[in-house]
Structure 1
Amino acid sequence: MRKSKFTEEQIIAILAEQERGMSTADVCRRHGVSSATFYKWKAKFGGMDVSDARRLKTLEGENAKLKRLLADAMLDNVVLKDLLGKY
C-alpha cells in the first residue's frame, strides 16, 4: 500500500480549512489532492483532533498485528489437524 505524503496532522489541518468555510474545490487545489481523496480523508478523520488520529493509527497497527497472530494460530491448527489425521 502506498504511503501518503501527508501526515495525520496535515490531513486534519486540511479538513479544518474546509470546515472553516473554504470551499472543498479550493482546499483540494491548494494542497494538490483530488476531491475523492479529500472525502475519503473526511470519512476517516472527520471530527478528530490530532491525538485522536494518533490513537487511531496505534489501534490500527495493533489490530493488524492481532490479525496476523490469529492467522498464524489458525494455520498451525490446520497443520496439527492434518498431522493427527494422517496417523
Structure 2
Amino acid sequence: MKKKYSVEEILRILSEEKQTGKTIRGICREHNITEQACYRWRLKYEGVDLKEAMRVKQLEEENRRLKQIIID
C-alpha cells in the first residue's frame, strides 16, 4: 500500500538526519520508505521552510487541476 506523506511529515523526516545524526538508510527503514523517495524529497524540499513548501504543494495542485480542465 502506498502512503502519501504530507509536506509537514516529509520535512520532519528529512530533519531527523540533521537532528539525530541517523543515516538515511536508518531513517528510511524506520519510516518504511525507500531511499530513492528520501533522496527525491531531499532534492525537492532541502533548504525550504514549511510555509514555502506548502505554497509549492498548493501551486502543483492548482497546476494539476488546470491541466485537467484543459484536457476535459
Give TM-score, length-normalised by structure 1: 0.66
Structure 1 stretches of 4+ with a deviation exceeding 6 A read: none
Structure showing greater radius of gyration is 1
**Identity across aligned pairs (percent)?**
37
CA shift in 2, pair 1:56/1:33, >3 Å? same
- Whether 1:8 aligns to 2:17 is no
Residue 30 of structure 1 and its aligned partner are, at CA, apart by 1.1
| Alignment-derived partner of residue 17 in structure 1 | 16
| Alignment-derived partner of residue 75 in structure 1 | none
Unaligned 5+ runs, structure 1: 73-87
Unaligned 5+ runs, structure 2: none
Give the secondary-structure state (helix, strand or coil) at the position aligned to 2:9: helix
Residue 57 of structure 1 and its aligned partner are, at CA, apart by 1.1
Query: What is the alpha-carbon distance in structure 2 between the residues aligned to residue 3 and residue 52 of structure 1?
Result: 25
Superposition RMSD in Å: 2.1
